[in-house]
Amino acid sequence: MEILVCGGAGYIGSHMVRLLAEQGHVVVTFDNLSTGHAEAVQWGEVVVGDVLDAAAVDAVLSRRNFDAVLHFAARSLVGESVSLPYDYYRSNVAGSLMLVSAMQRHGVEKLIFSSSAAVFGSSAVPIVDENQPLLPINPYGRSKLMVEQMLADAAEAYGLRSVCLRYFNAAGASRDARIGESHACETHLIPNVLRSMLGAAAPLQVFGDDYATPDGTCIRDYVHVEDLADAHLRALHFLEQAPGAHAFNLGNGQGFSVRQVIDAASRVVGRPVPYQVAPRRSGDPEILVASSRKAREVLGWDARWTELDGIIESAWRWHRAQPW
Ligand code: UFG
């Protein structure tokens, strides 16, 4: 297939580009490099441009007869979305609208969209399946939900085929440490743990240890970035015979607390994690774990990286190789 990957220079997008290229697909990355990294795209062609630039999107879609678009390009910091909501609605909602409108002009009828566990907000149940209410609690989550709703309308009106993949906590790096997670402003737990161990950041702050969980810290579902890429590939094949708009939750189905992550990182690295307990971070749900049953039944997908130590070890190998 010929695939356009918007946001292919980002963390999850670059793993996707690699998998597509390794599977023999023709892949073109379209990325404005605002948060992505040109050096992360080591497979296929790269076109620098913004999804908000209609002429640039038209130009890239004219290059080939694309079979599908994978849309990773987005702003993705929950806290930042609260202070800069216009930026989030512009990049994530208006950007997606520009992209799907251009796809329609170019006759591209399949889209895989990067959604998020954030569409569920603070779920009332610890294990979240697709039937849980969609009640995002910040502009980031709302921007993702708006696009999901737009895609459902587009399926009805225009026959656009789409899959929304709701990532829980994307984690890890490629097994050969060639690509990994690097954000200028890092908010995620595992990179922050590893950066603090490398001395590339201040000691880790544990946001709250008084939650109603076994060790008092929040529980999350860490799903390996290579497993996420694999889910996209399966979703792509699924769309060949499935009209309509679909959504799947993607996690490895197990929850790990912040303390368990810290313990696993010290096992992997072989020394203690420097950390201090800080106040709770506002908007953090206590427990968020995916039910990926639908993805298993419909896409035949299962997370292969299920061990926390293995996920962290892959991230550590990549982090260690960076010139922080
Ligand atoms: N945490 C710390 N210290 C840090 C960073 C995180 O204690 O330095 C804690 C958080 O409070 C939370 C857990 O580690 O309890 C995980 O936090 P992350 O920031 O790594 O991830 P989130 O669960 O907040 O975010 C994830 C996705 C988002 C998505 C969100 C939806 O990364 O894209 O889930 O709830 F929006």
pLDDT of residue 126: 83
Q: Using an 8 Å Cβ cutoff, are 119 and 141 in contact?
A: yes
Which long-range contacts link 181-185 to residues 24+ away (Cβ below 8 Å)?
A: 181/11, 181/225, 181/315, 181/318, 182/11, 182/37, 182/40, 182/322, 183/11, 183/35, 184/35, 185/77, 185/80
To test the ligand 1 pocket, which listed residue (76, 128, 167, 284) has its Cβ within 8 A of the most ligand atoms? Answer: 284
Verify whether ligand 1 is closer than 6 Å to residue 223 (CB atom): no
Verify whether ligand 1 is closer than 6 Å to residue 220 (CB atom): yes
Q: Which of 87-101, 164-178, 180-194 has the lowest mean pLDDT?
A: 180-194
Joined tokens for residue 202: 């201040």
CA dist., res. 49 & res. 7, Å (int):
10
CA dist., res. 267 & res. 30, Å (int):
39
Bridge-partner residues for 169, per DSSP? 222
Q: Smallest Cα–Cα separation from 180: which of 40, 50, 16?
A: 40
Verify whether ligand 1 is closer than 6 Å to residue 219 (CB atom): no
- For the cut 80, the answer to whether the pLDDT of residue 75 exceeds it is yes
pLDDT of residue 253: 86
Is 86 one of the catalytic residues? no
Collapsing DSSP to helix, strand or coil, 265 comes out as helix
Joined tokens for residue 2: 């010929």
User: Which residue has its alpha carbon closest to ligand 1 atom 7?
Assistant: 206
Verify whether ligand 1 is closer than 6 Å to residue 78 (CB atom): yes
- Hey, what amino acid is at 151? L
User: Which residue has its alpha carbon closest to ligand 1 atom 20?
Assistant: 188
| Average pLDDT across the chain, whole number | 95
pLDDT digits (tens, 9 = 90+) for 267-279: 999 999 999 999 9
Q: Using an 8 Å Cβ cutoff, are 118 and 72 in contact?
A: no
CA dist., res. 11 & res. 24, Å (int):
21
CA dist., res. 74 & res. 98, Å (int):
13
Joined tokens for residue 119: 């569409």
Rounded to 10 deg, the angle between the 225-240 and 11-22 helix axes is 60
pLDDT of residue 300: 98
Question: From ligand 1's centre to the CA of 168, what distance in Å?
Answer: 10
pLDDT digits (tens, 9 = 90+) for 1-31: 999 999 999 999 999 999 999 999 999 999 9
Classify residue 262 by burial, with Cβ atoms within 10 Å: 0-12, 13-18, 19+: buried
- Hey, what amino acid is at 91? S
Q: Using an 8 Å Cβ cutoff, are 256 and 308 in contact?
A: yes
Rounded to 10 deg, the angle between the 139-158 and 95-105 helix axes is 20
**160 versus 284: which is more confidently predicted?**
160
Joined tokens for residue 56: 């640039």
| Residue tagged active-site, from 140, 211, 222, 275 | 140
To test the ligand 1 pocket, which listed residue (12, 76, 78) has its Cβ within 8 A of the most ligand atoms? Answer: 78
Verify whether ligand 1 is closer than 6 Å to residue 204 (CB atom): yes
Helix/strand/coil percent split, the chain, to 5: 40, 20, 40
Does the global pTM surpass 0.95?
yes
**250 versus 177: which is more confidently predicted?**
250
Verify whether ligand 1 is closer than 6 Å to residue 319 (CB atom): no
